[in-house]
Amino acid sequence: MIRFVLTLGLLIPLFTQSAMAKLSPGKLQLAYEAARDGGVAARDAYDSKKKAFVSATVFPLLQSQARAKLPGMLRPYLESGYHIYKVNNTSSGILNLLDTTQTSTPDFFTSFFMKGGLGLPFGFTVEGGLSQVVNDHKATGFYATLSNQVLDLANFVYIDFVPTFVVSATALKVVAGPDTTSIALQGVLGGYHRQTQAQIGFVTQYSTSFMTETSKTVNLQKVRFGFASTSPIAYGLFGRLEVFYPSMSALAMLGYEF
């Protein structure tokens, strides 16, 4: 399954006509000016476009903490993977908002990411990393996350599957691309297998994002839902799959826990 997702991500840009198209804040500004002087329909159309624009800026780069069971105290780890984001490339989305002369827009934005973290006392974990959109070389983001293992019922249940709950807060800053800052709050309700440490989790994510490239700051608030599965491989190596919706995205990654 991991190999399939990685292969899909590698092939998508090859069949996308405008693979190097970049999001253009200038064109979003022109759309804002046209909507400001237009009627209700024009303002509604701009509202849809600005949401699609900020979503396409933030969600290909945002990597939050999706584990159901956090690593133990003073346990460092590294993760790296490939992320696919489904672009709203319709007339109500980012169509005509790209820095390109082509009439088509990408179906997907794909990105690589790398991050590392460390377990802290009292169930906390910190991590930081960066993401790079590979079919939009202007988009790079740095992020940091603080997480806490709120619930771990290993000492209260005597079955193989242990219920857990993790909360986290992630801050993302887009440093190359449309000037955007995003804060994401997330909860992961799931559990892990006591012997193998395999994990599953159902994710609820709330994010608020601010894009300041236009004369009027664009704010996007979004609630997304997801599913994450983490599987140990061998000798500290593990893999994870994640899927989120709406603003559909998926990722496959490998990590190592020291």
- Domain residue extents for the chain: 2-257
Q: What is the DSSP letter of 70?
A: P
Q: Are 184 and 206 in contact (CB under 8 A)?
A: yes
Cα dist from 222 to 116, 183, 244, whole Å: 26, 11, 12
* Helix 40-58 and helix 25-36, axial crossing angle in degrees, nearest 10: 160
Q: When comparing pLDDT for 24 and 200, which is higher?
A: 200
Read off the amino acid at residue 50.
Answer: K
Q: Any idea how long the chain is?
A: 258
Structure-block tokens of residue 28: 């979003």
- pLDDT for the residue numbered 11: 42
3-state helix, strand, coil in the chain (%, to 5): 20, 50, 30
pLDDT in tens, 7-19: 444 444 433 334 4
Q: In this structure, what token pair is assigned to residue 72?
A: 């133990």
The position carrying tokens 């253009």 is 24
pLDDT above 70 (res 202): yes
pTM of the predicted model, to two decimals?
0.87
Please, which pLDDT band fits residue 137 given cuts at 50, 70 and 90? low
Computed over every residue of the chain, the mean pLDDT equals 89
Which segments of the chain are extended strands (E)?
Answer: 76-86, 108-119, 124-133, 140-152, 161-176, 180-193, 199-211, 218-234, 237-245, 249-257
Q: Which residues contact 62 (CB under 8 A, 6 or more apart)?
A: 131, 141, 143, 170, 172, 182, 184, 207
Give the distance, in angstroms, between the CA of residue 209 and the centroid of all CA atoms in the same chain.
Answer: 13
Question: For 69-97, what is each residue's pLDDT tens digit?
Answer: 999 999 999 999 999 999 998 888 888 88
In the structure, what pLDDT confidence band is assigned to residue 103 with cuts at 50, 70 and 90? low
Residue of 213 and 81 predicted with greater confidence = 81
DSSP 88: -
pLDDT at 183 over 70: yes
Helices first, then strands: H and E counts in the chain: 3, 10
